[in-house]
Amino acid sequence: MTHTADTQTAGAVESQAPIVGHSIGGELVHDSDRYTPVYNPATGEQTARVALADHATVDTAVEVAASAQRAWRKAGLAKRTQVMFKARQILDERRDELAASITAEHGKVLSDAAGEITRGLENVEFCAGLMHHLKGEYAEQVAGGVDVHQVRQPLGVVACITPFNFPAMVPLWMVTTAIAAGNAVILKPSERDPSASLLIAEAFRDAGLPDGILNVVHGDKTAVDALLEHPGITGVSFVGSTPIAKYIYAQSAERGKRVQALGGAKNHMVVMPDAHLDSAADAAVSAAYGSAGERCMAISVVVAVGDIADELVEKIRTRAEALVIGDGTDPASEMGPLITNDALDRVTGYVAGAADEGAAVTLDGRSTQVPDQGYFIGPTLLDHVTPGMKVYDDEIFGPVLSVVRVESYDDAVELINANRYANGTAVFTRDGKTAREFEMDIEVGMVGVNVPIPVPVGAFSFGGWKDSLFGDTHMYGPEAFNFYTRRKVVTSRWPEPSESQVNLGFPTH
């Protein structure tokens, strides 16, 4: 199935398809000058068309959000806490509906979709403790009769711009903390799989969140630029590819907005000679091919250290070959399709060029038996990959696992630290000293020890280094409360009138 036109005007062939509209102030808005198709990646069929916001729609959303935020900012923390508990309950009750929506538009298998909801809910659970996270500090008697306290106040209206690959989890990372901290949100989800964000907004509304605090505005670059340019937006959270993350970071910073922009990844998994090779092969296959490799924490490079490479590659190959590829709604399927036909073309191109670059194509996903319709490709395993090959240097974002062979632990560390991406990495070993040194030596934001996808639990925060994150604060967890609040320091004194005098000196103590 092929298609090329991504953005269309209303009235084109697909104009009969149901519209996915914006949610502004609790109202669904379907009118738009432009729409883009939404496909089921497992069949290639268009299932809907999503409205693409223009500047005027963004202006309306920001205005509505700003007005609602003035009251929400003053809502008791106990009220906000109740919303968090209730939203958690509702999202859990509606998990099947939400997972089905994710699978229908993203393609990942249903169990994986349910898994991303669980990981998103971790942040709702963390935010239910918002009263603790918003506590300030106090120091009495910093000088004679003078006390100082610090409070955390919301930024105002923040923009949350999210990628296609986690249509529920990443919005839940951002919007939950932003709301818990007293902000109003304009969520701009990926136009590829826009429906999950509306279900999340509905759940929060049903949980008692006032209208206008969580707004969903769909769109492409036009909508994103309108948000970045809008003076009413004070903070921007972004997750997506590195070129767009850099753009968001630069544009936001230039306009004085607080910004965190998470980018792409190339995650390496080091397998030491002493590792349990069957466990390492299980982990590599799960982490490389789960969600068809469309995870920012997917393992895309196995670094085989010493003389274990041949055995390890064979163990990975046999496991990868046995994976069941198919529609994500089929419980037998372990791996679904890619998101779009363009993504399929891109990944197929990397696999096609790998042999010419000098890689050994140990398993070629193009030869895998896959459904006739939809954007499927089987798992690919490339051996003898080296830096300088496109398959190594680029983020492929598909089910392609490369194996780089190195002599020693030092070579592995040098390889990873030279990579421009630094989101996640892992070491597989049975030696505690090696693991400890790796943790210290490696220049990557999230590290797994015998854990291939070390996404931190909700009580910690998530973020990579280098080209995987532009900004200073990581996402969700404690750092998110820092991002979504401004600290204000109040110095106070209650002097007797008799103590008052004119003094032009700089205040000391």
Q: How far apart are CA 481 and CA 475, in angstroms?
A: 9
**Of residues 168-227, which lie at the interface with ligand NAD (CB under 6 A)?**
188, 190-191, 220-221, 224
User: Please, what is the minimum distance in Å from the beta carbon of residue 337 to ligand NAD?
Assistant: 15
- Chain residue whose CB lies nearest ligand NAD: 240
User: Please, what is the minimum distance in Å from the beta carbon of residue 32 to ligand NAD?
Assistant: 15
Q: Which of 23, 32, 423, 473 binds ligand NAD (CB under 6 A)?
A: 423
Q: Tokens 């799960």, residue?
A: 286
Q: Which of 69, 123, 162, 461 binds ligand NAD (CB under 6 A)?
A: 162
**Beta carbons within 10 angstroms of residue 244's beta carbon:** 18
269 or 280: CB nearest ligand NAD = 269
Q: Which of 20, 161, 389, 427 binds ligand NAD (CB under 6 A)?
A: 161
210 or 445: CB nearest ligand NAD = 445
By the rule CB under 6 A, 296 interacts with ligand NAD: yes
Of 60, 296, 84, the closest CA to residue 178 belongs to 84
383 or 467: CB nearest ligand NAD = 467
The C-alpha R_g of the chain, in whole angstroms, comes to 25
**Choices 140-148, 207-215, 261-269, 402-410 (CB under 6 A): range interacting with ligand NAD:** 261-269
Judged on CB neighbours under 10 Å (0-12, 13-18, 19+), 163 is buried
- DSSP codes, 106-150: H---HHHHHHHHHHHHHHHHHHTTHHHHT--EEEEEEETTEEEEE
Asked if 155 and 497 touch (Cβ cutoff 8 Å), the reply is no
Residue type, 311: E
Of 112, 114, 118, 110, the closest CA to residue 88 belongs to 118
By the rule CB under 6 A, 123 interacts with ligand NAD: no
306 or 456: CB nearest ligand NAD = 456
User: Please, what is the minimum distance in Å from the beta carbon of residue 478 to ligand NAD?
Assistant: 17
User: Please, what is the minimum distance in Å from the beta carbon of residue 423 to ligand NAD?
Assistant: 5
Q: Which of 60, 82, 153, 241 binds ligand NAD (CB under 6 A)?
A: 241
End-to-end CA distance of the chain: 75
Q: In which element (H, E) is residue 184 found? A: strand 184-188
326 or 463: CB nearest ligand NAD = 463
In the three-class reduction of DSSP (H, G, I as helix; E, B as strand; rest coil), residue 284 is classed as: helix
Positions annotated as catalytic residues are: 296
**Of residues 381-400, which lie at the interface with ligand NAD (CB under 6 A)?**
395, 397
Output phi, psi for 429, to 5 deg: -160, 160
Q: How far apart are CA 355 and CA 474, in angstroms?
A: 38
402 or 423: CB nearest ligand NAD = 423
**Choices 163-171, 199-207, 429-437, 479-487 (CB under 6 A): range interacting with ligand NAD:** 163-171
User: Please, what is the minimum distance in Å from the beta carbon of residue 163 to ligand NAD?
Assistant: 3
Q: How far apart are CA 269 and CA 392, in angstroms?
A: 14
* Adjacent-strand bridge partners of 380: 400
How far, in Å, are 260, 273, 410, 411, 441 from residue 407 at the CA level?
38, 10, 8, 7, 17
Q: Hey, what are 6's tokens?
A: 């991504």
Q: Which of 23, 57, 165, 176 binds ligand NAD (CB under 6 A)?
A: 165
**Choices 12-20, 53-61, 258-266, 488-496 (CB under 6 A): range interacting with ligand NAD:** 258-266
Q: Which of 84, 175, 179, 239 binds ligand NAD (CB under 6 A)?
A: 239
**Beta carbons within 10 angstroms of residue 426's beta carbon:** 29
350 or 397: CB nearest ligand NAD = 397
Q: Tokens 């319709």, residue?
A: 373
Residues 456-475, mask of contacts with ligand NAD (x by CB under 6 A):
--------x---x-------
226 or 283: CB nearest ligand NAD = 226
Strands 469-470 and 400-406 come out as unpaired
Residues in contact with ligand NAD by the rule CB under 6 A: 161-166, 188, 190-191, 220-221, 224, 239-241, 244, 262-265, 296, 395, 397, 423, 464, 468
